[in-house]
Structure 1
Amino acid sequence: MLAKDYQSFHDAISKSIAKQNIITDPLLTVAFGTDASFYRMIPQIVVNVETEEEVQIILQEASRRQLAVTFRAAGTSLSGQAITDSILVRLGKGWQNYKIFDKARKIQLQPGIIGSQANRFLAEFGKKIGPDPASIDSAKIGGILANNASGMCCGVAENSYQTLDSLRMILADGTVVDTADDTSRAQFKRSHAHILEGLTTLRHNVLSDQNLTDRIRYKYKIKNTTGYSLNALIDFKDPFAIMQQLMVGSEGTLGFISEVIYKTVIEHKHKASALILFPDVPTACSAVPLLRDGLPVAAAELMDRAGLASVEHEPGMPDYLAGLGETVTALLVETRANSASQLRKQIQQIQASLAKIKTIGSIEFTDDPLKYKVYWNIRKGLFPAVGAVRDTGKTVIIEDVAFPAQHLAAAALDLQSLFKKYQYHEAIIFGHALEGNLHFVFTQDFSITDEVIRYRNFMDEVVTMVVEKYDGSLKAEHGTGRNMAPFVEKEWGTAAYQLMRQIKSLFDPDGLLNPGVIINEDAEAHIKNLKPLPATHELVDKCIECGFCEPVCPSRNLSFTPRQRIVSRREISRQMTANASSSEVGALLKSYQYPGQETCAADGLCGTKCPVGIDTGKMVKALREEANGELANLVADWVARNFKGVARTINTTLVAVDKVHQLTGTAFMEQASSTARSLSANKLPLWNREMPSGVKKIQPEKVNPENPLQVVYFPACPSRCMSGPARGETEVEDLPQKTVSLLKKAGYQILYPENLEALCCGQAFESKGFYKQAAEKSEQLNRALLSVSAEGEIPVLCDTSPCLLRMKENLDPKLKLYEPIEFVLDYLLDKLNFTPIDAKVALHITCSSRKMGLDQQLKILAQSCATEVVIPEDIYCCGFAGDRGFNYPELNATALEDLKRQVKGCDAGYSTSKTCEIGLSVHGNIPYRSILYLVDAATTARRKNKETAVNNTL
Structure 2
Amino acid sequence: MLPVPYERVLTELRAFMPEARLITDPLRTLAYGTDGSFYRLIPKIVAIVESEEEVVGLLRVTRAHQAPVTFRAAGTSLSGQAVSDSVLVLLGDHWRGCAISADAATVTLQPGVIGAEANRKLAPLGRKIGPDPASIATAKIGGIAANNASGMCCGTAQNSYRTLSSMRLVLTDGTALDTGDAVSRAAFWRSHKSLLDGLNELGARTRADEALAGRIRDKFRIKNTTGYSLNALVDYEDPVDILQHLLIGSEGTLGFISTITLNTVPEHAHKASALLFFPDIAEACRAVALLKATPVSAVELMDRASLRSIEDKPGMPAQIKGFGPDVACLLVETRAESVAALDSQLAAIAAVLATTVTIGDGAFTTDAKACEGFWKIRKGLFPAVGAIRELGTTVIIEDVAFPLERLAEATVELQALFVKHAYHEAIIFGHALEGNLHFVFTQAFDTDAEIDRYRQFMDDVCTMVVKGYDGSLKAEHGTGRNMAPFVEMEWGPQAYGLMKEIKALFDPEGLLNPGVILNGDPEAHLKNLKPMPPAHPLVDTCIECGFCEPTCPSHKMTLSPRQRIVGWREISRLTRDGADPARLEALSQAYDYQGIDTCAACGLCSTACPVGIETGLLVKALRGQKRGAVAQKAGDFVADHMGGVLGMARTGLRLADLARRVVGPDAVSAAARTLTAGHLPGLPRNMPKPVGFTPLPGHVSLPDAPAVVYIPSCVSRTMGPAAEDPEQTPLPEKVEALMRKAGFRVIYPEELSSQCCGMSLESKGLAAQADAKADAMLAALAKASNNGALPIVMDTSPCAFRLKKRLTEGGLKILDIAEFLHVHALPRLDIVKSAEPVVLHLTCSTRRMGLDATLTAIAKTCATQVVVPEDVGCCGFAGDKGFSTPELNAHALRHLKKDVPAGAKSGYSTSRTCEIGLSDHAGLPYRSIVYLVDACSRPKTAVPATTRTPEAAF
Interval of TM-score (by shorter of Structure 1 and Structure 2): over 0.9
1:872 alignment counterpart: 869
Separation in 1, partners of 2:677, 2:466: 62
1:595 alignment counterpart: 594
Aligned counterpart for 1:934 among listed residues 932, 935, 938: 932
1:414 alignment counterpart: 413
Task: Find the residue that maps to 1:326 and give its secondary structure.
Answer: coil
2:763 alignment counterpart: 767
Separation in 2, partners of 1:633, 1:371: 45
Alignment of 1:532 onto 2:531: yes
Retained in 1: the 8 A contact 2:602–2:874? yes
Aligned counterpart for 2:888 among listed residues 891, 909, 915: 891
Retained in 1: the 8 A contact 2:26–2:586? no
Task: Find the residue that maps to 2:397 and give its secondary structure.
Answer: strand
Separation in 2, partners of 1:755, 1:303: 56
Separation in 2, partners of 1:139, 1:950: 53
2:275 alignment counterpart: 275
Deviation for aligned residue 1:252:
0.2
Separation in 1, partners of 2:308, 2:631: 48
CA 1:679–1:815: 2 relative to 1, 3 Å: closer
Retained in 2: the 8 A contact 1:131–1:154? yes
Deviation for aligned residue 1:370:
2.7
Deviation for aligned residue 1:209:
1.6
1:133 alignment counterpart: 133
Separation in 2, partners of 1:845, 1:949: 29
Of the structure 1 ranges 71-80 and 673-682, higher mean CA displacement relative to structure 2 is found in 673-682
Question: What TM-score, normalized by structure 2, do the two folds share?
Answer: 0.97
Deviation for aligned residue 1:903:
1.3
- The one-letter code matched in structure 1 to 2:710 is Y
Task: Deviation per CA, 1:369-398: give whole Å up to 9, x if none.
Answer: 133334324423422331221111111111
Task: Find the residue that maps to 2:875 and give its secondary structure.
Answer: coil
Deviation for aligned residue 1:42:
0.6
Retained in 2: the 8 A contact 1:703–1:749? no
Task: Find the residue that maps to 2:400 and give its secondary structure.
Answer: strand
CA 1:647–1:219: 2 relative to 1, 3 Å: same
Deviation for aligned residue 1:557:
2.4
Deviation for aligned residue 1:92:
1.1
Separation in 2, partners of 1:571, 1:152: 35
Deviation for aligned residue 1:875:
1.0
Separation in 2, partners of 1:922, 1:360: 59
- The one-letter code matched in structure 1 to 2:867 is V
Separation in 2, partners of 1:331, 1:920: 46
Separation in 2, partners of 1:51, 1:377: 34
2:718 alignment counterpart: 721
Separation in 1, partners of 2:215, 2:111: 32
2:15 alignment counterpart: 15
CA 1:946–1:39: 2 relative to 1, 3 Å: same
Q: Which structure 2 residues correspond to residues 182-221 of structure 1 after superposition, within 5 A?
A: 182-221=182-221
CA 1:113–1:951: 2 relative to 1, 3 Å: closer
1:920 alignment counterpart: 918
- The one-letter code matched in structure 2 to 1:661 is R
Alignment of 1:824 onto 2:846: no
Retained in 1: the 8 A contact 2:574–2:581? no
Separation in 1, partners of 2:724, 2:464: 73
1:229 alignment counterpart: 229
Deviation for aligned residue 1:116:
0.6
Separation in 2, partners of 1:83, 1:675: 46
Deviation for aligned residue 1:507:
0.1
Deviation for aligned residue 1:61:
1.3
Deviation for aligned residue 1:528:
0.7
Task: Find the residue that maps to 1:830 and give its secondary structure.
Answer: helix
Separation in 1, partners of 2:700, 2:471: 77
Task: Find the residue that maps to 1:396 and give its secondary structure.
Answer: strand
Q: Which structure 2 residues correspond to residues 358-757 of structure 1 after superposition, within 5 A?
A: 358-361=357-360, 364-664=363-663, 668-674=664-670, 677=673, 682-699=678-695, 704=701, 706-722=703-719, 724-757=720-753
Retained in 2: the 8 A contact 1:485–1:517? yes
Of the structure 1 ranges 926-935 and 505-514, higher mean CA displacement relative to structure 2 is found in 926-935
Retained in 1: the 8 A contact 2:307–2:320? yes
Task: Find the residue that maps to 1:943 and give its secondary structure.
Answer: coil
Task: Deviation per CA, 1:300-359: give whole Å up to 9, x if none.
Answer: 111111111221122331111111222121211111111000110111111112322222
1:848 alignment counterpart: 845
Alignment of 1:787 onto 2:786: no
Separation in 2, partners of 1:706, 1:179: 76
Separation in 2, partners of 1:671, 1:216: 71
Deviation for aligned residue 1:776:
2.1
- The one-letter code matched in structure 2 to 1:186 is A
CA 1:716–1:685: 2 relative to 1, 3 Å: farther
- The one-letter code matched in structure 1 to 2:652 is T
Task: Find the residue that maps to 1:227 and give its secondary structure.
Answer: coil
Deviation for aligned residue 1:419:
1.0
CA 1:339–1:630: 2 relative to 1, 3 Å: same
Deviation for aligned residue 1:30:
0.4
Task: Find the residue that maps to 1:493 and give its secondary structure.
Answer: helix
Retained in 2: the 8 A contact 1:79–1:480? yes
CA 1:879–1:952: 2 relative to 1, 3 Å: closer
CA 1:189–1:579: 2 relative to 1, 3 Å: same
Task: Deviation per CA, 1:226-278: give whole Å up to 9, x if none.
Answer: 00000000000111000000000000000011010111111101111122222
CA 1:638–1:386: 2 relative to 1, 3 Å: same
Aligned Cα RMSD in Å?
Answer: 1.8
Retained in 2: the 8 A contact 1:798–1:820? yes
Of the structure 1 ranges 283-292 and 944-953, higher mean CA displacement relative to structure 2 is found in 944-953
Task: Find the residue that maps to 2:718 and give its secondary structure.
Answer: helix
Retained in 1: the 8 A contact 2:693–2:732? no
Task: Deviation per CA, 1:541-590: give whole Å up to 9, x if none.
Answer: 11110000000100112111001100011111222233224443222100
Separation in 2, partners of 1:732, 1:948: 19
Separation in 2, partners of 1:260, 1:132: 16
Separation in 1, partners of 2:945, 2:715: 33
- The one-letter code matched in structure 1 to 2:196 is L
- The one-letter code matched in structure 1 to 2:367 is D
Separation in 2, partners of 1:35, 1:602: 22
- The one-letter code matched in structure 1 to 2:589 is K
Number of residue pairs matched by the alignment: 948
Retained in 2: the 8 A contact 1:552–1:874? no
Separation in 1, partners of 2:296, 2:914: 46
- The one-letter code matched in structure 2 to 1:826 is V
Retained in 2: the 8 A contact 1:839–1:907? yes
Separation in 1, partners of 2:380, 2:592: 34
Deviation for aligned residue 1:364:
2.7
Retained in 1: the 8 A contact 2:319–2:360? no
Deviation for aligned residue 1:681:
5.6
Deviation for aligned residue 1:299:
0.4
1:805 alignment counterpart: 801
Of the structure 1 ranges 547-556 and 774-783, higher mean CA displacement relative to structure 2 is found in 774-783
Task: Find the residue that maps to 2:908 and give its secondary structure.
Answer: strand
Retained in 2: the 8 A contact 1:700–1:751? no
Of the structure 1 ranges 466-475 and 802-811, higher mean CA displacement relative to structure 2 is found in 802-811
Deviation for aligned residue 1:67:
1.2
Retained in 1: the 8 A contact 2:696–2:948? no
Retained in 2: the 8 A contact 1:832–1:939? yes
Retained in 2: the 8 A contact 1:670–1:688? no
In the alignment, structure 2 segments of 5+ residues that lack a partner are: none
Separation in 1, partners of 2:563, 2:336: 42
Retained in 1: the 8 A contact 2:736–2:948? no
Separation in 2, partners of 1:950, 1:520: 77
